[in-house]
Amino acid sequence: MSAAFTVRLDEATLCALDQLAEKIERSRNWLAAKAIEDYIALNAWQVAKIEAGIAAADRGEFASDDELARVRKKFTSKE
């Protein structure tokens, strides 16, 4: 089941949406729905990862000093 709602866009965004819809032969509605679905999926994944990290920290699961030093060394500039 789907439901309708209104979204307000500035003219430049609406024009860009219409141009893209025409180029890929999809409707404005399809593009907007797909963009919202993708945004929700990405942000749900990110929130789940953050929550998992917080839960691990709450359990005291931290990197050891040796592990942290290894990571620092890996990303430290060689200059």
- Tell me the pLDDT band of 62, cut-offs 50, 70 and 90: confident
Instruction: Report pTM.
Output: 0.71
Separation CA 68–CA 72 (nearest Å): 6
Residue 20's contacts (CB-CB under 8 Å, 6 or more residues apart) are 31
pLDDT of 1: 87
- Residue 9, pLDDT above cutoff 70: yes
Per-residue model confidence as pLDDT tens digits over 20-59? 999 999 999 999 999 999 999 999 999 999 999 999 999 9
Separation CA 2–CA 63 (nearest Å): 46
pLDDT of 79: 60
